[in-house]
Amino acid sequence: MTNVKQRVQELRNLLQQASYAYYVRDNPMMEDAVYDQLYRELQDLESQYPELVTPDSPTQRVGEKPASEFSSVRHNIPLYSLENAFNLEELAKWQERWQRYAPDVKNVEYVCELKIDGSAIALTYKDGVLVRGVTRGDGVTGEDITQNIRTIRSIPLRLSTETPPPIVEVRGEAFLPLDVFEGINREREAAGEALFANPRNAAAGTLRQLDPKIVDRRQLDFFAYTLHLPGSEEQETVPTLKSQWEALEFLRDLGFRVNPNRKRCASLAEVEEYYQYWDSQRRDLPYMTDGVVVKLNSFSLQEQLGFTQKFPRWAIALKYPAEESPTLVQNVTVQVGRTGALTPVAELKPVQLAGTTVSRATLHNRDRIEELNLHLGDTVIVRKAGEIIPEVVRVLPELRPPEAKPVQMPTDCPVCHQPVVRPPGEAVTRCINASCPAIVKGSLNHWASRGALDINGLGEKLVNQLVDSGLVHSVADLYQLTLDQLTNLERMGEKSAQKLINQIEQSNTQPWSRVLYGLGIRYVGTVNAQILAQQFPSVDQLAAARVTDIESVYGIGSEIAQSVNDWFRVPSNQTLINRLREANLQLAGEPKVASAEAKSQPLQGKTFVITGTLPTLKRDDAKKLIQNAGGKVTSSVSSKTDYVLVGEDAGSKLEKAQELGINQISESDLLQWLNE
């Protein structure tokens, strides 16, 4: 038993060091296959000897059971918010204010850190082990989300030190990297769900998910920015930290990620230079930042200055100006997606934002319209949320015309005119008429998309013609189209018609995973479809699977499992599968992957960077393909990069790769490797 205990501890130490090297240092110390082998060995030992399982074990990161609710807890140390400055003049006035409380202080140092646009969280470690993670809440109380915090790989479950402080409170920001955020929104769009407006909202929503498996899949990241050591003056093993800069260095030594773009500044002029530099460079960062946090470096000076009723006097958030502009709401239209979701859209008087002309902005759902109290003809403030999605921020009711009428969501589908419903617990109103032309058109466009059956030539205009003419009522009808039917359509010659028929026929060679994605089952995006197709190698196996069978697959949660199971229970969907079978679609053929050893790993140990726009693959899909083949994808080019995957409009990453002599490959090169 002693040997088993020693081996378990040895495995945990190795896995913790490897996780730190991979997620914090971005410098892997072992191959993924080696990590997987060690992880499975630890799992096996803990399964045989459950009394050896501890909360800080790497196997305990993702909890098995969803929480029923989050409990409200009081912070050990309040989380103060920061006073905001919106320009350099207000920054100078802040300096004047704190100097009144410390007029004799000279040679002041400031520490500047990028203000990450995420969610603040507080972590508590006892004897080096993570015991609690809490949302900021109102600064005095927050919600205990420890189970979700544990899924964030850049947060250590055990501190990287042999002599941990008895208690340490770590504060930081949980956030979603931009590529992860964009991937989540693509998945949500494919599943017919409302998009997240920005990475901050997505991070906050993710942290409050009751199911930790969902949190784990969304790949939150974390930067630590401060810590508190209660009773540290009485502990000989705890270092005496004299400054914010020393605290950041100590956090890094404990195993946390701290922002690499921090800087010590000897004057307010240097702070201003830092602020202005990142105002132009922040759009190249892999995460959102909305300003700069400026702190006085000296802890003794911080203690001397103290706090106001709301803010610390020794720190301020210098915000970058938001790209907002007023404009008029000329109309509100309602779109019907392929899942029947009704999405209201504000039609705006065109306005320039973030370098583009914005004439439409999503209103999300009925709740958002009611919250805004929106009327036709209102003057509204529009912002590009996260510089990605145009949204209406607020209404200016004082400018409302006297005759303006309130905006209301329709009670009938604007396309098929059938009654709409709002399912319990959902914010989205839906048309549930499966024959609704809007739903049929959305299904066809999704079926023909690159990630699904990739039918070249079947675009939106042609889909509209096929549905409006009554030729197509489901995706199965595509495989019954004749040359005569197509040539009777507007602007469709015989040559074009034959080419389209050939493309449709060729689509039946696409693999089972693409067919599954193309079916448009709610919550099933490209990655989930690949996972399901590997674990259920035929449509018959997936159709026969119970909810518990499906949700037991790693990466598939209960919500996805229930949606898949429900879809196959619908008689019309069973008929669709039978018709696709008659059309010789690939409804089987992808073998189940039993283990990491059984899976081909042609890119094992290779590090890639992706730059530019790829011809057919979305960046997130290319990243998943590389990772599934054993490779690693990083955000920046270094001497450790093996290959740079280059698309159109490649920028500075390609230039750096050329300087370092790193191999460049195209999308076709990558796909050829994966198919060999």
Annotated binding site: 32-36, 81-82, 113, 136, 173, 295, 319, 413, 416, 431, 436
Residue 151 makes CB contacts below 8 A (sequence gap 6+) with 61, 62, 212, 215, 216, 220
**Residues in a beta bridge with 345:** 333, 362
Strands (E), 36-99: 72-74, 84-85
* 412 three-class SS: strand
Q: Which of 65, 115, 599, 632 is catalytic?
A: 115
Q: What are the CA-CA distances from residue 90 to residues 55, 286, 324 (Å)? A: 46, 29, 20
Quote the distance between the C-alpha of residue 626 and its chain's center: 18
Dihedral angle computed from the Cα positions of residues 536, 540, 543 and 546, in that order, rounded to the nearest 10 degrees: -60
Report the C-alpha gap between 163 and 166 in whole angstroms. 9
310 in catalytic set: no
| Binding annotation for NAD(+) | 32-36, 81-82, 113, 136, 173, 295, 319
Binding site as annotated, residues for Zn(2+): 413, 416, 431, 436
Q: How far are the Cα atoms of 272, 277, 364, 395, 499 from residue 333, in angstroms, in the given order? A: 45, 41, 12, 18, 36
Is 443 in a helix, a strand, or coil? helix
For residue 582, give both structure tokens.
Answer: 């008659």
Nearest to 21 by CA among 175, 156, 130, 121: 156
Compute the CA torsion angle 169, 35, 638, 273 (nearest 10 deg). Answer: -10
Give the bridge partners for 351, in sequence order. Answer: 358
- Terminal alpha carbon distance of the chain: 46
Q: CA dist 201 to 69, 176, 221, 563, Å?
A: 20, 10, 14, 24
State which amino acid sits at residue 78. Answer: P
d(CA 72, CA 137): 9
Q: Give the whole-angstrom CA distance, residue 194 versus residue 286.
A: 23
Contact yes or no for 85/91 (Cβ under 8 A):
yes
Q: Which residues contact 296 (CB under 8 A, 6 or more apart)?
A: 98, 108, 109, 110, 111, 244, 302, 305, 314, 315
Query: Which positions are catalytic?
Result: 115
